[in-house]
């Protein structure tokens, strides 16, 4: 590869609607590409299953913003210090402390609550007299935001505020607006943490304040702030689009939808195929070079260059998944990277899968004749390289 920068906006006007075609065209030319993204920032995009998997596990790349080049600082959208922006040994310590309160048993115990919230939301949505609704507003957004807010102990009335904040931070909002939102979030979360210290509850945020390992180590104030931010944003954004993108894939492939309705034993595999075929994350949070590093035969300079492994492309690489453009709920999806790979593998994957299974099955059982209520080519998609999903998904039912 030469060092010419590829402007993704110029490569395809329809990148937001179908980034996979752009990724596939780049993959044909090689695994690593110097690209220009929004706001004029540039980085190095890695495509192809093997190269993406290796990059996600490459210890030579840092997740810590302290190693980012100055020109990239305007892209930062998090507050506080958390495990997704840390390298070992800090990452190991932070993840261990959070994982103590995020166990598989605790997640599985949430299933009845997920079902009750899903039923309440569907009661309201399906009561629409015209038999039409936006699936994002009706189910896909309120379910995971209510669950993560309940889990963390965030007041119910603040859900919509977090939705507005999250949408702005993970989209193409101006840098100044993002900085203002991060300040508001920091102030809000700091006040919430203070309230939890004064009056702890039976919630994850209270537990994170008091949790300690065998050596008495616990999260600092800045680490608590960052971890609360991470769990609130990451704890709902990905699940929203797992549900929306998954339902859209089913509605566009009626034979697969019919197969799932006929055999709920296919549900787990269907959710994994939804994650592989059109998952909620195109590229994960940023990685930075410390020293020059060679990836896929390309030498990327040191000094904090941005490296973006395209997990959305990896999961559509024919070298790993035969006939990758085919949506097939019976497919063998083992090894897909919708939740990442390596030490930063998504800690919330079990909760996202639980919510996705319950939401999709309940919707399909209660809404016979569910259909897309819009031209699929007219759907407006989230912009940017990270979150993948439509802003709205109009549906109708009998």
Among 69-83, 113-127, 296-310, the least confident range: 69-83
Average pLDDT over residues 133-139: 97
**In terms of DSSP bridges, do strands 371-372 and 6-7 run parallel, antiparallel, or are they unpaired?**
unpaired
Going by C-alpha positions, the residue among 89, 116, 104, 174 that lies closest to residue 353 is 104
The CATH code of the domain at 6-396 is: 1.10.630.10
Written as six digits, the tokens of 90 are 């800090």
Question: Rounded to the nearest 10 degrees, what angle do helices 254-262 and 221-252 cross at?
Answer: 100
What does the pLDDT look like over 274-327, one tens digit per residue? 999 999 999 999 999 999 999 999 999 999 999 999 999 999 999 999 999 999
SS3 label, residue 230:
helix
Q: What is the mean pLDDT of residues 351-355?
A: 95
- Please, which residues have CB within 8 angstroms of residue 198's CB and are 6 or more apart in sequence? none
Mean pLDDT of 198-223: 82
Q: Look at residue 37 in the predicted model and tell me its pLDDT.
A: 80
Rounded CA gap, 123 and 40, in Å? 46
Q: Concatenate the DSSP letters of all residues of 142-187 into one string.
A: HHHHHHHHHHHT--GGGHHHHHHHHHHHTTT--HHHHHHHHHHHHH
Q: Is the pLDDT of residue 2 over 50?
A: no
Q: Inform me whether the pLDDT recorded for 355 exceeds 90.
A: yes
Q: Each residue of 143-175: pLDDT tens digit?
A: 998 998 888 888 766 777 877 887 777 766 677
- Residues 316 and 323: their CA atoms lie apart, in Å, by 8
CA dihedral 181, 183, 187, 189 (to 10 degrees): 60
Average pLDDT of span 5-22: 83
Global confidence as pTM: 0.93
Question: Is residue 234 very low, low, confident or very high in pLDDT (cuts 50, 70, 90)?
Answer: confident
| pLDDT value for 1 | 44
Residue 81, pLDDT > 80, answer: yes
CA proximity to 365, closest of 122, 117, 113, 116: 122
């Amino acid at each position: 590869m030469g060092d010419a920068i590829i402007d993704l906006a110029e490569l395809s006007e329809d990148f937001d609607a179908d980034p996979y075609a752009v990724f596939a065209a780049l993959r044909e030319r090689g695994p690593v590409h110097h690209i220009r993204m929004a706001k004029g920032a540039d980085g190095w995009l890695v495509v192809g299953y093997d190269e993406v998997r290796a990059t996600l596990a490459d210890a030579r790349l840092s997740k810590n913003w302290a190693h980012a080049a100055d020109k990239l600082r305007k892209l930062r959208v998090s507050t506080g210090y958390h495990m997704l922006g840390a390298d070992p040994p800090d990452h190991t310590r932070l993840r261990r402390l959070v994982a103590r309160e995020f166990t598989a048993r605790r997640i599985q115990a949430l299933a009845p609550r997920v079902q009750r919230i899903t039923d309440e939301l569907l009661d309201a949505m399906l009561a629409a007299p015209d038999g039409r609704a936006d699936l994002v507003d009706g189910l896909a957004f309120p379910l995971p935001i209510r669950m993560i807010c309940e889990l963390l102990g965030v007041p119910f009335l603040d859900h919509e505020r977090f939705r507005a904040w999250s949408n702005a931070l993970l989209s193409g909002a101006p840098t100044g607006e993002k900085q203002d939102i991060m300040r508001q979030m920091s102030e809000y979360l700091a006040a919430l943490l203070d309230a939890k210290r004064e009056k702890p509850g039976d919630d994850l945020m209270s537990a994170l304040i008091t949790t300690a390992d065998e050596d008495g180590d616990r999260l600092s104030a800045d680490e608590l702030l960052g971890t609360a931010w991470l769990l609130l944003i990451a704890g709902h954004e990905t699940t929203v689009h797992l549900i929306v993108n998954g339902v859209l894939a089913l509605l566009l492939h009626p034979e697969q939808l019919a197969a799932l309705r006929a055999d709920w034993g296919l549900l787990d595999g269907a959710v994994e195929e939804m994650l592989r075929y059109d998952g909620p994350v195109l590229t994960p949070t940023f990685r930075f070079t410390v020293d020059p590093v060679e990836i896929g035969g390309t030498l990327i300079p040191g000094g904090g260059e941005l490296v973006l492994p395209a997990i959305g492309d990896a999961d559509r690489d024919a070298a790993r998944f035969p006939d990758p453009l085919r949506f097939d709920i019976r497919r063998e999806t083992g090894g897909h990277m919708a939740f990442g790979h390596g030490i930063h593998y998504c800690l919330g994957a079990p909760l996202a899968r639980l919510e996705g299974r319950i939401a999709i099955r309940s919707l399909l059982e209660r809404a016979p004749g569910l259909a897309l209520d819009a031209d699929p080519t007219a759907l407006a998609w989230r912009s940017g390289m990270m979150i993948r999903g439509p802003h709205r998904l109009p549906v109708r039912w009998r």
